Amino acid sequence: MPSSKPPARSRAHLLESIGSPADLRKLEPGELPALADALRDFLIDSVSRTGGHLSSNLGTVELTIALHYVFNTPEDRIVWDVGHQTYAHKVLTGRREAMSSLRQYHGLSGFPKRSESTYDTFGTAHSSTSISAALGMAEAARLRGEDRRAIAVIGDGAMTAGMAFEALNNAGDIHDTNLLVILNDNEMSISPPVGALNKHLSRLLSGRLYNGARQIGKRVLGNLPPPVIELARRTEEHVKGMVMPGTMFEEFGFNYIGPIDGHDLESLLPTLQNLRTLKGPQFLHVITRKGQGYKLAEADPILYHGVSKFDHAAGIATGKDAKGGGKLTYTQVFGDWLCDMAALDKRLVAITPAMREGSGMVRFAHEYPDRYYDVGIAEQHALTFAAGLACEGLKPVVAIYSTFLQRAYDQLIHDIALQNLPVMMAIDRAGLVGADGATHHGAFDLSFLACIPNLVIFCPADEDECRQMLYTAYRHDGPTAVRYPRGSGLGSVPRQAMSELPIGKGEIRRQGKGCALLAFGSMLGTALQVGEELDATVANMRFVKPIDRDLILQLAAGHDLLVTLEENATIGGAGSEVSRVLNEAGSRVRVLQLGLPDRFVDHGDQAQLLAESGLDSASVLDRIKKAYQVNS
């Protein structure tokens, strides 16, 4: 550490003096708590203006400072699991000024992104990938004889995913890999944590006294030559076996240290400095508080997990959401339907992989606690668990974001569709989600679902149709998927009475001439606008599978151009299904397939991203006119 004592600085100046971790490492350890306060104040103010993830970022301020202070980043690699807690990391790695553009069009990503900074060593956002990626980096360093560390920072929620254990299992067997796993345990996922792991972690917390003693031992050990450390460690293992039940992490082959206070820099710094000297897989358990330092977030870390812009007129202290209450969302339509359906059918059970709030299931969890399952961040398990329930005559509904369903693809095919089991998937966040960006857009589900035999795929065009489709899907004796976007639709009011729609049948919503627009789900609004402009026919297709073959051929017979519209990748999506039907029927009508482009769409607001993807009405109109010009 530097010997010269820099002059006392105001907290704000201290933060402004940090343009990189190299600047950070020039500070005295005693200056770091003031820096943490300044950084926390900055994050609260900044996120109150941009929106984003707040409580998890407030909980990792000291840990982030300590990691960049002790480790030689970016040569030492830090991989942040989920990465929603990396705003402090971004500020300390030269992006403080850019934080005003967070999660906005062409602005900073809300997650680590390799193309954004060399300090963002691995792109994350989908949970539980950090240990695998960091192990890969550690092994690359070992194989290349490079003296660098790889550190995975993973939350207690992310630790509940099977992939994290796959990585622990592999890492623990490679005795000379320089991997450090830091478990950031704040006893919260988005919702309160679930599962047996949470109970195990709680038991470890209760052993705090022993660990306190062991911590001191570690501090001393760090300054001794390695053979002595090894001897002391074996002795310690012996002591531990008598004093404290082994942690599961030690059973996986890791040297477990902790739990320590993740807000106490005086604990963090020496412990991390010691760990940096130890060889082999290391596991540090830190305890933090989600929302630390902002009373409203401390009191309600769930509400402040993801926030919109604050109403600054009301003052940051109120934490008041600038946008206030909005229109009925598809998520709320689902949540209301779920409770209504549960009241009608005792066989209904509902499952979420750790997204209770986001999927609209808070009321159901409260009203039907014995029929509600939060399985943790475990999408693969969620689907096969549902399959088991269905085998026994229950009617499972799995609420899952489109992007997270990607993680359970084989379970859907192999465990559900192949056995034709009546599992219903309510797929939320289908299409462009906005600020979360490329890692979260539900851009591919129609493409990866359409090829699965037995599956029925519903695309509701508005809120009422969504409710009717949820009912129809639930009543179907086979696997079903109802996909709907983030936010609100055309604003129809869902009828309380539920009735079954004819499966595989679309409808003509506007009769016109010239071209016909075949809209799937959320694109109906745009299709109707363009249809008015062109006096074209507009069909609400409703289903991707089974697709309405008769309607397609009827439209082909009466129009010179069919335009398909979907908020899904164009490749392999609904439009491809329409073309397949036409080809099989030998039709020669031209088809213009409009959907998401064959690239990853970044973050911004949904309207901006739809326009950028050519799916707003102006772009659709323009593309149709060009199609006619090309052929005139």
Ligand X SMILES: CC(=O)[C@@H](O)[C@H](O)COP(=O)(O)O
Name the residues annotated as catalytic. 290, 379, 407
Minimal distance, residue 425 CB to ligand TPP, in Å = 15
Q: Is 486 one of the binding residues for ligand X (CB under 6 A)? A: yes
Q: Report the SS3 class of residue 590.
A: strand
Among residues 133, 163, 433, 596, which is the contact residue for ligand X, using CB under 6 A? 433
User: Which residue, 335 or 506, has its beta carbon nearer to ligand TPP?
Assistant: 335
- Taking alpha carbons only, the member of 598, 594, 582 closest to residue 624 is 594
- By CB under 6 A, name the binding residues for ligand TPP: 56, 59, 82, 84-85, 125-127, 155-158, 186, 188-190, 290, 354, 377, 404, 407
Max CA pair span of the chain: 86
* Residue numbers 35-64 binding ligand X by CB under 6 A: none
3-state helix, strand, coil in the chain (%, to 5): 45, 15, 40
Nearer to ligand TPP, 15 or 188 (CB): 188
Binding residue positions: 84, 125-127, 156-158, 186, 294, 379
How far apart are CB 78 and ligand X at their closest, in Å? 18
- Nearest-approach distance from CB 45 to Mg ion, in angstroms: 24
Please give the C-alpha separations between residue 254 and each of 168, 237, 354, in angstroms, as whole numbers.
Answer: 8, 12, 27
Give residues with Cβ within 8 angstroms of 125, minimum separation 6.
82, 83, 84, 110, 111, 436, 439, 440
Q: Which does 85 bind (CB under 5 to 8 A by kind): ligand X, Mg ion, ligand TPP, none?
A: ligand TPP
The interface partner of residue 354, options being ligand TPP, Mg ion, ligand X, none and the CB cut-off 5 to 8 Å by kind, is ligand TPP
Check: CB of residue 375 under 8 Å from CB of residue 382. Answer: yes
Q: How far apart are CA 489 and CA 507, in angstroms?
A: 18
Please identify, using beta-carbon distances, which residue of 123 and 494 lies nearer to ligand TPP: 123
195 part of the interface to ligand X, by CB under 6 A:
no
Listed ranges 279-287, 380-388, 429-437, 455-463: which one lies at the site for ligand X (CB under 6 A): 429-437
Task: Please report the sign of the dihedral spanned by the C-alpha atoms of residue 50, residue 54, residue 60, residue 61.
Answer: positive
Sign of torsion over alpha carbons 406, 342, 485, 52: negative
Strands 372-374 and 348-352: parallel
Identified binder of ligand X from the candidate list 113, 429, 483, 542, rule CB under 6 A? 429
- Per DSSP, which regions of 146-281 are E strands? 150-155, 179-185, 255-261
Residue 51 vs 595, nearer CB to ligand TPP: 51
Short-list 19, 57, 22, CA closest to 41: 57
Nearest approach in angstroms of CB 156 to Mg ion is 4
**Angle made by CA atoms 315, 316, 322, in degrees to the nearest 5:** 75
Residue 193 gets the label, from left (phi > 0), alpha (psi -120 to 50) or beta, of beta
Say which entry of ligand TPP, Mg ion, ligand X, none residue 306 contacts (CB below 5 to 8 A, set by partner kind): ligand X
Contact between 306 and ligand X by CB under 6 A: the answer reads yes
Q: Nearest distance from residue 122's CB to ligand X, in Å?
A: 15
Decide whether 415 or 436 has the Cβ nearer to ligand X: 436
Residues that bind ligand X (CB under 6 A): 82, 84, 306, 358, 429, 433, 436, 486
